Amino acid sequence: MSTASCDVRNVVLVGHTGAGKTALVDRLLATAGPPERQNGDHQLAHTSYVGHADPDHRPSRSVSLTLCSLSHRGLTINLLDTPGYPDFVGELRAGLRAADAALFVVSAVDGVDGATGLLWTECAEVGMPRAIAITHLDHARADFTAAVEECQRAFGTGVLPAWLPHRATGGGMRLTGLLTGRIVDYGRGGRRETTAESGRSDVRHAAARAALVEGIIAESEDETLLDRYLSGADPDLDLLLADLEKAVAHGTFFPVLPVGLLTDQGAGHDNGERGPARAGGFGSDELLDLFVQGFPAPAEHPLPALTRPDGSACDPGTGDPTGPLVAEVVKTTTDPYVGRMSVVRVFSGTLRPDDPVHVSGHGRAAAGHADHDDDERVGALSRPYGSVLHSVPDCPAGGICVVTKLGTAETGDTLSSLDDPRHLPAWTMPEPLLPIAIRARGRADEDRLSTALSRLAVEDPTLRVVQDPETSQLVLWSMGEAHAEVVLERLAQRYGATVDRVPTVIPLRETLRAPARGLGRQVKQSGGHGQYAVCQIEVEPLPPGSGFEFVDEVVGGAIPRSFIPSVEKGIRAQMAQGVRAGHPLTDLRVRLVDGKSHSVDSSDMAFQIAGGLALRDAARSSGVVVLEPVLAVDVSVPDEFVGTVVSDLSTRRGRVVGMDPVPPAPGSASSFAATRTVVHAEVPESEMSRYAIELRSLSHGTGSFHREPHGYEPMPPQLADALSG
């Protein structure tokens, strides 16, 4: 690689599923042309989850972050293509972590959805430079001006077109650079730049240009520009362009570009040469130029706060290739041909093959393993171009590369040098909130399952695997159905472990309906060693969450002291076993009030049995109440959805216990930066198993929630009866 960090641009493509991100990467690949093949290059498998697989071999919607490194005007452009489907938000987060700028891909037909709006707000909060590519302009309903207006409404100020598309005679597309007046024709003959004079400037063009110039001047720090403009003189084009680029790089101005992604059916195959095959597409050169000229070099991106392994602060460094090594694993996956591959973003220093590195241990800690840092040696480095991995000798600060065969480092780990270990802040990932219980299909599957699942969980920070101690079920917590499907498919394909989905068991409990007396008699005195234990208890239900209380009220030695703990033990064992449908009992006070013993035949075991019998006797006379687990749930939604969320929670037998407004972050102009409200509620767990999916549709993708155990509460009798058949 050996390119200085100013020669790199790291751009993440984000937006609604189906907007055309992956198709756009295809176009940009065809535009930039393939790099020279080298010794040591590797072909990736068609099912690759890192490289940009060819269209015939990839799923119709992306399920994984892919990296594609191409060159344009002598610079390396690392494109990070993210999945737009909300289940794969973890991949999106990883892409944002590795990039210095974001391209929002918006379909002129579908517009901006809520989740994209929120993402814009989030990028605004961290000042990430952004641009917008409008796709699907070939659609009959598509209108570029209307699409720009929708982006302006959704994203706020600073959103203005940089190029305008016009349908050219002959079926091609003509793009007019608003500031420069450059005119580019995309037609059957390929891309052809025309001089300004031959272009036509209409009213729409003039108005858009004036808006753009005013927008740049408003953002400009150069007062002479404003003075000239106010005095009626035409502003200097070079100054305007320089200011435009500065404003884009500073994240205060967001150019909109039209792009056409169709491949021209009649033009034959693209051989990497510029020409007829590209006739169906347009705008890709202009977009690549924007990346090069407008988007910032990695060195302009301030390094995040760093710490030492002991947690003490250390200076953040300057992102210099000769400085201390700070790199991060943003993604880990396994390719059937190449083996384990890690996508690594280098923030400072230079990553070289064979260098020993310190691994922070963040990745394993996030997956629930004991946090341990460790060292390992860096393997071969490469950059994916399409589905080919091109070897590179090193990766200096600012670069992103693929490292093969890292054994210890996982997604989220910081790599640094052994003698100067540094940690980037740990990732915060959205919680996986969709539980799916699974069971291995056969013995062989079972043997492979636990290793396979723990591997997948460390690779994917939005996946959690839990063996529920109460129900003994193996539960996959994922971001949604599609995410779970991908995980199950990888389990089968990569590890040969086939599993079946089984209904998730909600761990119920029981308590006694009312105070009751119970008598336990374990008396067997015929033949051999006898058993003799009698105990009398009085049981009363306690408020939810009280647990178990045992009170010894035996007087006069009716039960010898040494057997009192035996009675308690027997009662506890019976509580764990349950008395009716096998649900454990809880929230009881048991008073041992009387009993009888025998000098020879009484034993610890006899009193344990008698204790259990006494509890069952009490339960028989009082009846039991089924208790179900209740969750404390915090749902965060924009204000407009509060009503919907509250009424939906009530259909789930939920109780709203409070609401807190959350003001928008300062400086956010997007219409999606509306005030949000957090609704606090207590909801039975059984009603929440699919809430991850249902809240998404209720709130048009803008809601999020957090859940934690709150306790147990009586279940409505009709539901409890239905459960016990």
Please report how close the Cβ of residue 173 comes to ligand GTP at its closest, in angstroms.
Answer: 11
Q: Which residue has the tokens 């009398």?
A: 536
Please report how close the Cβ of residue 100 comes to Mg ion at its closest, in angstroms.
Answer: 21
Query: Which residue's CB is nearer to ligand GTP, number 18 or number 396?
Result: 18
Identify the bridge partners of residue 391 per DSSP, sorted by sequence position: 382
What separation in angstroms does the CA of 700 have from each of 477, 657, 670? 22, 24, 17
Q: Is 718 helix (H, G, I), strand (E, B) or coil?
A: helix
> Of the ranges 236-244, 254-262, 559-567, 623-631, which one interacts with ligand GTP (CB under 6 A)?
254-262
The two three-digit tokens of residue 349, written as one number:
């220093």
Query: Which residue's CB is nearer to ligand GTP, number 63 or number 613?
Result: 63
Please report how close the Cβ of residue 588 comes to ligand GTP at its closest, in angstroms.
Answer: 53
> Of the ranges 82-90, 147-155, 474-482, 592-600, which one interacts with ligand GTP (CB under 6 A)?
82-90
Size of the site for ligand GTP (CB under 6 A): 20
Pairing of the two strands 434-440 and 499-502: antiparallel
**Near ligand GTP by CB under 6 A: residue from 66, 135, 360, 677:** 135
Asked if 605 contacts 492 with a C-beta cutoff of 8 angstroms, the reply is no
Asked if 11 contacts 132 with a C-beta cutoff of 8 angstroms, the reply is no
Residue whose C-alpha is closest to residue 105's, from 78, 137, 75: 137
Query: Which residue's CB is nearer to Mg ion, number 21 or number 423?
Result: 21
> Of the ranges 259-267, 334-342, 371-379, 458-466, which one interacts with ligand GTP (CB under 6 A)?
259-267
Backbone angles phi, psi at 263, to 5 degrees: -90, 140
d(CA 459, CA 39): 29
Query: Which residue's CB is nearer to ligand GTP, number 84 or number 321?
Result: 84
DSSP alpha helices (H): ranges in 281-374?
Answer: 284-293, 362-366
Query: Which residue's CB is nearer to ligand GTP, number 19 or number 683?
Result: 19
d(CA 104, CA 102): 6
Query: Which residue's CB is nearer to ligand GTP, number 15 or number 294?
Result: 15
Residue 135 CB partners (closer than 8 Å, separation 6+): 19, 20, 23, 24, 105, 106, 107, 108, 259, 260, 261
Residue whose C-alpha is closest to residue 198's, from 214, 186, 182: 182
Secondary structure, 3-state, 115-161: HHHHHHHHHHHCCCCEEEEEECCCCCCCCHHHHHHHHHHHHCCCEEE
Asked if 549 contacts 585 with a C-beta cutoff of 8 angstroms, the reply is no
Residue 715 binds ligand GTP, judged by CB under 6 A = no
d(CA 363, CA 455): 11
d(CA 103, CA 291): 9
- The binding track of 3-42 with respect to ligand GTP, each residue x by CB under 6 A or -, is ------------x-xxxxxxx-------------------
Identify the bridge partners of residue 10 per DSSP, sorted by sequence position: 78
- Binding site residues, Mg ion, CB under 5 A: 21-22, 62
Please report how close the Cβ of residue 474 comes to ligand GTP at its closest, in angstroms.
Answer: 29
Q: Which does 17 bind (CB under 5 to 8 A by kind): ligand GTP, Mg ion, none?
A: ligand GTP
Please report how close the Cβ of residue 91 comes to ligand GTP at its closest, in angstroms.
Answer: 10
Amino acid symbol at 286: E
> Of the ranges 65-73, 258-266, 463-471, 659-667, which one interacts with ligand GTP (CB under 6 A)?
258-266
- The binding track of 90-129 with respect to ligand GTP, each residue x by CB under 6 A or -, is ---------------x------------------------
The two three-digit tokens of residue 97, written as one number:
């972590």
Residue 261 binds ligand GTP, judged by CB under 6 A = yes
Please report how close the Cβ of residue 57 comes to Mg ion at its closest, in angstroms.
Answer: 14
Q: Which does 135 bind (CB under 5 to 8 A by kind): Mg ion, ligand GTP, none?
A: ligand GTP
Query: Which residue's CB is nearer to Mg ion, number 19 or number 484?
Result: 19
d(CA 562, CA 67): 70
Q: Which does 19 bind (CB under 5 to 8 A by kind): Mg ion, ligand GTP, none?
A: ligand GTP
**Near ligand GTP by CB under 6 A: residue from 136, 364, 383, 455:** 136
**Near ligand GTP by CB under 6 A: residue from 51, 70, 83, 183:** 83
Q: Which does 262 bind (CB under 5 to 8 A by kind): Mg ion, ligand GTP, none?
A: ligand GTP
Query: Which residue's CB is nearer to Mg ion, number 52 or number 464?
Result: 52
Q: Which does 143 bind (CB under 5 to 8 A by kind): ligand GTP, Mg ion, none?
A: none
Residue whose C-alpha is closest to residue 161's, from 203, 209, 113: 209
Query: Which residue's CB is nearer to ligand GTP, number 42 or number 136?
Result: 136
What separation in angstroms does the CA of 175 have from each of 254, 256, 542, 656? 18, 12, 76, 54
- The binding track of 208-237 with respect to ligand GTP, each residue x by CB under 6 A or -, is ------------------------------
**Near ligand GTP by CB under 6 A: residue from 179, 241, 262, 593:** 262
Residue whose C-alpha is closest to residue 711's, from 508, 585, 545, 549: 545
**Near ligand GTP by CB under 6 A: residue from 35, 43, 61, 181:** 61
Cα dihedral 631, 637, 639, 645 in deg (nearest 10): -50
Residue 483 binds ligand GTP, judged by CB under 6 A = no
Cα dihedral 635, 640, 642, 643 in deg (nearest 10): -150
Q: Which does 85 bind (CB under 5 to 8 A by kind): ligand GTP, Mg ion, none?
A: ligand GTP
Query: Which residue's CB is nearer to ligand GTP, number 135 or number 704?
Result: 135
Please report how close the Cβ of residue 12 comes to ligand GTP at its closest, in angstroms.
Answer: 12
Residue 138 binds ligand GTP, judged by CB under 6 A = yes
Name the residues that contact ligand GTP, by CB under 6 A.
15, 17-23, 61-62, 83-85, 105, 135-136, 138, 260-262
